[in-house]
């Protein structure tokens, strides 16, 4: 992974000192809240429902064990012993005190971490495929490109005050595991006409109040021109994006108002006029950054491990967990392991300091010191020898972390909702827990198969409800929490926005409504058909009838 050089260290230390001074000036009265607010947001510090919330950047979801242990320590010392992994692959602490923030930032800087640009109208943490450098279907590791974009966008003078926040995701694999079509810019690494790798560039995707699937602005961009082309997109957005209406300020609105062809013409014209060599990274610098991401040395091992095979035969719980949470690796004899943070009864995406410490230990012991955060709010050990899987599983079982529900119904994405968030209209965590309880039986989840259920506590859609095969949106209707259900969304290559199925449900009726939807799917599905395939074949009618009755 990337290691800070002297410049990075000095930059982050200076920023910590600067914010320490700003906090002191706020506490002394030299700064009013109005003056302080934009400064704290620039450092990832929000004032939420119960307390201050600190959002820590986890660049493209990559951590080492030292960093994860430091997060555990911060949670224990300055928070309430747990944090929340987000759909932006970041970590949020919900109960930090303003007076402690300078110490927390200094502790983060010790392990090459910070909170810069985790809020504000700037380029946010670039997200990526959590299985980067491990997935069998990967064309190229997206992480070096994320790092290049991170360095380029950090305090970029032209793009620090955009009309609105700006999110970029990169996938280097055949399957989109980074929801690229729902980002302001989505980048897919693809083969070009001469067989060389480059980027397919999507623009104008997003969720929130007005969701859009990103549209292709370029089918192939030579990769050496990534920075200059992204810069042209951002320049056009910065010039023409709306600043008069916060709800219409994202690039998706501009792209869709102009139309993709007009937007493309404007970007290409800017790009033509750009002095590309002044912006694009020189080849030797690209190679320098890429050298940090050399995959760990994975000595060759037999593809089949007899003890592992025997355990799968003899232990049904292990076999079930293995089926869903162990993913194929590009190197025979290895696997990527999903550590589910979705055990029924838990808040999806929350991890205690003890969990973080344990996962750090396991990463050192079994996983070449690497941990990834998936945007679906789970943790991943990307490089584990298959022979070590039983021992790893046993350690996870002991900690209550061996829930075998990756990509099943229980693997819900869920935002903090009204339990924590100032913007939320309704709670999402208790609903997720009730649904998890109802579908607790692994055999039932197995029968249902792969199904993405996403839930947000407000229209801002941090819980990606638009992209859920089943989406749940909490709204406030005259003081009552009401839940609107959408069907047919997808975050993957067949990206789609879910369709509202009908009137909303009161909180206590939501689990039964999900049950009814699932039963309708099971009754209507053809053999081997996924939920999405059935939905696309049969349409809304049977689901509506099951939920609301005929007529």
Partner 1 sequence: MPNVITANRLTDGVVVYLAADGEWSEQIANARVADTDEETKALETEAENAVRERHVVGVYPMAVALNEGAVDPLSVRERIRAAHRTTLTEDWYDVPL
Which of these ranges, 26-34, 193-201, 209-217, 524-532, lies near partner 1 under the rule CB under 8 A? 26-34
**Closest by alpha carbon to 43, among 18, 61, 26, 68?**
18
List, in sequence order, every residue forming a beta bridge with 198; answer none if it has no partner. Answer: 190, 222
In sequence order, what are the residues at sequence separation of 6 or more whose Cβ sits closer than 8 angstroms to the Cβ of residue 119? 41, 42, 43, 44, 45, 46, 55, 165
Q: To the nearest whole angstrom, how small is the minimum distance from the Cβ of residue 378 to partner 1?
A: 16
Which of these ranges, 79-87, 317-325, 403-411, 494-502, lies near partner 1 under the rule CB under 8 A? 79-87
Q: Which position among 339, 375, 481, 521 is part of the footprint of partner 1 (CB under 8 A)?
A: 481
Angle between helices 510-524 and 429-438 (to 10 degrees): 50
Per-residue string for binding with partner 1, 333-372, x by CB under 8 A? ----------x-xxx--x-x--------------------
Which of these ranges, 43-51, 107-115, 249-257, 490-498, lies near partner 1 under the rule CB under 8 A? 43-51
Q: To the nearest whole angstrom, how small is the minimum distance from the Cβ of residue 111 to partner 1?
A: 23
Q: To the nearest whole angstrom, how small is the minimum distance from the Cβ of residue 188 to partner 1?
A: 38
**Closest by alpha carbon to 361, among 327, 387, 395?**
395
**End-to-end Cα spacing for the chain:** 58
Residue 379 DSSP one-character state:
E
Q: To the nearest whole angstrom, how small is the minimum distance from the Cβ of residue 107 to partner 1?
A: 18
Which of these ranges, 97-105, 161-169, 369-377, 448-456, lies near partner 1 under the rule CB under 8 A? 97-105
147 contacts 289 by C-beta, under 8 angstroms: yes
**Closest by alpha carbon to 456, among 418, 494, 512, 493?**
418
| 508 scored as a contact of partner 1 (CB under 8 A) | no
| 306 scored as a contact of partner 1 (CB under 8 A) | no
| 433 scored as a contact of partner 1 (CB under 8 A) | yes
β pairing state of 45-47 and 453-456: unpaired
Smaller CB separation from partner 1, 51 or 387: 51
Q: Which position among 18, 24, 27, 332 is part of the footprint of partner 1 (CB under 8 A)?
A: 27
Q: To the nearest whole angstrom, how small is the minimum distance from the Cβ of residue 363 to partner 1?
A: 21
Beta-sheet strand order (sheet of 197-203): 127-128, 168-171, 185-191, 197-203, 215-222
What are the CA-CA distances from residue 333 to residues 166, 383, 389, 394 (Å)? 39, 10, 11, 19
Smaller CB separation from partner 1, 211 or 417: 417
Q: Which position among 80, 209, 235, 301 is part of the footprint of partner 1 (CB under 8 A)?
A: 80
| Residues 515, 512: Cα–Cα separation, whole Å | 5
Which of these ranges, 50-58, 120-128, 158-166, 310-318, lies near partner 1 under the rule CB under 8 A? 50-58
What are the CA-CA distances from residue 390 to residues 157, 336, 387 (Å)? 50, 13, 7
Give Cα 321 to chain centroid, integer Å. 22
| Residues 545, 533: Cα–Cα separation, whole Å | 19
In sequence order, what are the residues at sequence separation of 6 or more whose Cβ sits closer than 8 angstroms to the Cβ of residue 53? 45, 46, 47, 92, 93, 94, 96, 420
Smaller CB separation from partner 1, 57 or 429: 429
Which of these ranges, 80-88, 261-269, 270-278, 521-529, lies near partner 1 under the rule CB under 8 A? 80-88
Smaller CB separation from partner 1, 460 or 516: 460
502 contacts 544 by C-beta, under 8 angstroms: yes
Per-residue string for binding with partner 1, 261-300, x by CB under 8 A? ----------------------------------------
| 138 scored as a contact of partner 1 (CB under 8 A) | no
Which of these ranges, 66-74, 129-137, 262-270, 424-432, lies near partner 1 under the rule CB under 8 A? 424-432
| 98 scored as a contact of partner 1 (CB under 8 A) | yes
Q: Which position among 9, 14, 21, 81 is part of the footprint of partner 1 (CB under 8 A)?
A: 81
| 398 scored as a contact of partner 1 (CB under 8 A) | no
Q: To the nearest whole angstrom, how small is the minimum distance from the Cβ of residue 80 to partner 1?
A: 6
Which of these ranges, 231-239, 427-435, 460-468, 492-500, lies near partner 1 under the rule CB under 8 A? 427-435
Q: Which position among 49, 210, 260, 395 is part of the footprint of partner 1 (CB under 8 A)?
A: 49
Smaller CB separation from partner 1, 274 or 352: 352
Angle at 356 between CA 350 and CA 361, to 5 degrees: 150
In sequence order, what are the residues at sequence separation of 6 or more whose Cβ sits closer than 8 angstroms to the Cβ of residue 196? 222
Smaller CB separation from partner 1, 170 or 341: 341
Number of chain residues interacting with partner 1 (CB under 8 A): 31
Q: What burial letters (b/e) apply to 476-501, b meaning 16+ CB within 10 Å?
A: eeeeebbbbbbbbbbbbeebbbbeeb
Q: Which position among 2, 15, 43, 52 is part of the footprint of partner 1 (CB under 8 A)?
A: 52
Give Cα 208 to chain centroid, integer Å. 15
Q: Which position among 2, 19, 60, 82 is part of the footprint of partner 1 (CB under 8 A)?
A: 82
Cα torsion at 287, 157, 16, 1 (round to 10°)? -20
Q: Which position among 48, 274, 450, 524 is part of the footprint of partner 1 (CB under 8 A)?
A: 48
Smaller CB separation from partner 1, 75 or 471: 75
Please state the φ and ψ torsions of residue 243, each to the nearest 5 degrees.
-115, 0
| 38 scored as a contact of partner 1 (CB under 8 A) | no
| Residues 234, 157: Cα–Cα separation, whole Å | 12
Q: Which position among 427, 438, 452, 525 is part of the footprint of partner 1 (CB under 8 A)?
A: 427
Q: What burial letters (b/e) apply to 346-375, b meaning 16+ CB within 10 Å?
A: bbbbbbbbebbbbbbebbbebbbbbbbbbb
Q: To the nearest whole angstrom, how small is the minimum distance from the Cβ of residue 478 to partner 1?
A: 11
> Footprint of partner 1 on this chain (CB under 8 A)?
26-27, 29, 33, 47-52, 80-82, 97-99, 343, 345-347, 350, 352, 418-419, 426-427, 429-430, 433, 479, 481
């Amino acid at each position: 992974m990337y290691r800070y050089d002297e410049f990075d260290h000095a930059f982050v230390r200076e920023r910590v000192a600067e914010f320490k001074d700003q906090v002191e000036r706020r506490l002394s009265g030299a700064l009013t809240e109005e003056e302080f607010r934009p400064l704290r947001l620039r450092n990832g510090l929000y004032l939420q429902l119960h307390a201050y919330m600190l959002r820590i950047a986890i660049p493209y979801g990559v951590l080492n064990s030292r960093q994860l242990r430091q997060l555990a320590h911060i949670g224990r010392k300055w928070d309430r012993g747990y944090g929340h992994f987000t759909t932006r692959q970041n970590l949020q602490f919900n109960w930090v005190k303003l007076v402690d923030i300078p110490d927390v930032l200094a502790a983060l800087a010790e392990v090459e971490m910070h909170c810069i640009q985790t809020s504000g109208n700037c380029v946010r943490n670039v997200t990526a495929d959590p299985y980067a450098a491990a997935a069998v279907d990967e064309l190229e590791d997206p992480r070096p490109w994320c790092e290049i974009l991170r360095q380029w966008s950090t305090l970029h003078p032209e793009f620090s005050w955009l009309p609105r926040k700006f999110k970029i995701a990169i996938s280097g694999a055949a399957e989109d595991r980074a929801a690229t079509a729902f980002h302001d810019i989505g980048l897919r690494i693809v083969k070009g006409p001469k067989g060389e790798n480059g980027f397919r560039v999507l623009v104008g995707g997003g969720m929130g109040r007005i969701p859009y699937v990103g549209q292709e602005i370029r089918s192939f961009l030579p990769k050496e021109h990534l920075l200059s082309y992204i810069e042209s997109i951002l320049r056009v957005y910065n010039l023409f994006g709306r600043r008069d209406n916060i709800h219409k300020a994202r690039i998706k609105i501009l792209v869709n108002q102009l139309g993709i062809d007009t937007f493309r013409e404007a970007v290409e014209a800017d790009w033509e006029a750009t002095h590309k060599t002044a912006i694009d990274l020189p080849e030797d610098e690209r190679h320098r950054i890429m050298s940090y991401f050399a995959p760990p040395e994975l000595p060759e091992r037999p593809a089949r491990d007899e003890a592992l095979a025997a355990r799968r035969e003899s232990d049904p719980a292990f076999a079930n967990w293995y089926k869903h949470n162990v993913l194929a690796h590009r190197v025979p004899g290895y696997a990527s392991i999903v550590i589910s943070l979705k055990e029924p009864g838990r808040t999806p995406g929350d991890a205690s300091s003890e969990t973080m410490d344990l996962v750090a230990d396991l990463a050192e012991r079994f996983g070449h010191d690497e941990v990834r955060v998936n945007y679906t709010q789970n943790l991943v050990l990307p490089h584990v020898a298959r022979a070590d899987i039983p021992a790893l599983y046993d350690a996870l079982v002991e900690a209550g972390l061996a829930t075998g529900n990756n990509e099943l119904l229980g693997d819900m994405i869920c935002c903090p909702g009204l339990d924590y968030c100032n913007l939320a209209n309704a709670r999402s965590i208790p609903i997720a827990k009730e649904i998890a309880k109802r579908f607790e039986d692994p055999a039932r989840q197995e029968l249902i198969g792969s199904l993405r259920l996403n839930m947000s506590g407000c229209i801002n859609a941090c819980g990606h409800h638009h992209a859920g095969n089943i989406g749940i949106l909490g709204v406030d209707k005259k003081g009552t929490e009401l839940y609107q259900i959408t069907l047919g969304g997808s975050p993957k290559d067949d990206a789609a926005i879910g369709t509202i199925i009908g009137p909303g449900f009161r909180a206590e009726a939501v689990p039964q409504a999900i049950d009814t939807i699932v039963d309708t799917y099971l009754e209507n599905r053809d053999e081997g058909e996924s939920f999405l395939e059935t939905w696309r074949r049969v349409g809304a009618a049977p689901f509506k009838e099951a939920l609301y009755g005929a007529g």
